[in-house]
């Protein structure tokens, strides 16, 4: 193994509190969306791309309205995350420091452009990662973005760490091992490794 590629939500941090605050701020000023969203609703859509989340949470909007609405939410969300951050899982930075001594570290998340940057801006963890990718920049699926990171950085034996079935499928698409972060948001039955806390990565690697 030469590298570790991480998912973000449910793997490195929990950003739901800040994201819900940002989205509800937009909802309160919108004439066609009346019901505010909850952290539980957001949890149920974790791992999906923004347009998929929009269809699930705001089905009454037409495509044009939904795209405009989600763009507004995204803008406020990334700004608030840069200012307030999210909740890092226990010992994230300590574990990243230890892993970076042996492996190249990367992030691939199904997020919009600016989201990973907001994670970096607030928590100052960018120094531990070599590269990152997301569909907001490429328009690609998570599996394709993992392969893009592999090709761009000449990786030969990476693993992917994530918390959802979508993460498992992305690792399968990229033909690399999958580490299931059981403490995250999803339920995954098949995996190559499983961790119950972030620091357990040190027991595996």
* CA angle in degrees (0–180, nearest 5) for 143-195-134: 25
Question: What's the pLDDT score for residue 45?
Answer: 87
The answer to whether the CB of 18 falls within 8 A of the CB of 119 is no
Give the tens place of pLDDT for each residue, 176-192: 999 999 999 999 999 99
Give the tens place of pLDDT for each residue, 119-167: 999 999 999 999 999 999 999 999 999 999 999 999 999 999 999 999 9
What percentage of the chain carries pLDDT values higher than 90?
75
Domains present along the chain, CATH in parentheses: 3-14+87-204 (3.40.50.1000), 16-84 (1.10.150)
48-63 average pLDDT score: 87
d(CA 14, CA 184): 8
Write down the mean pLDDT value for the chain: 94
Q: What is the pTM of this model?
A: 0.91
Question: For residue 101, what pLDDT band results from cuts at 50, 70 and 90?
Answer: very high
């Amino acid at each position: 193994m030469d590298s570790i590629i991480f998912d973000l939500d449910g793997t490195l941090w929990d950003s739901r509190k800040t994201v819900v605050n940002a989205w509800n701020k937009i909802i309160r000023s919108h004439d066609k969306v009346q019901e505010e969203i909850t952290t539980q609703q957001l949890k149920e859509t974790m791992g999906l791309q923004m347009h998929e989340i929009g269809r699930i949470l705001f089905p009454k909007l037409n495509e044009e309205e939904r795209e405009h609405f989600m763009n507004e939410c995204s803008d406020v969300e990334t700004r608030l995350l840069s200012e307030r951050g999210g909740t890092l899982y226990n010992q994230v930075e300590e574990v990243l420091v230890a892993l970076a001594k042996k492996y190249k570290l990367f992030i691939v998340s199904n997020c919009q452009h600016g989201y990973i940057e907001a994670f970096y801006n607030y928590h100052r963890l960018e120094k531990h990662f070599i590269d990152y990718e997301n569909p907001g920049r490429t328009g690609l699926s998570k599996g394709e973005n993992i392969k893009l990171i592999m090709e761009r950085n000449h990786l030969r034996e990476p693993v992917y760490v994530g918390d959802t079935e979508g993460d498992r499928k992305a690792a399968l698409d990229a033909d690399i091992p999958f580490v299931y972060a059981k403490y995250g948001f999803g339920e995954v039955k098949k995996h190559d490794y499983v961790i119950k806390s972030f620091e357990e990565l040190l027991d595996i690697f």
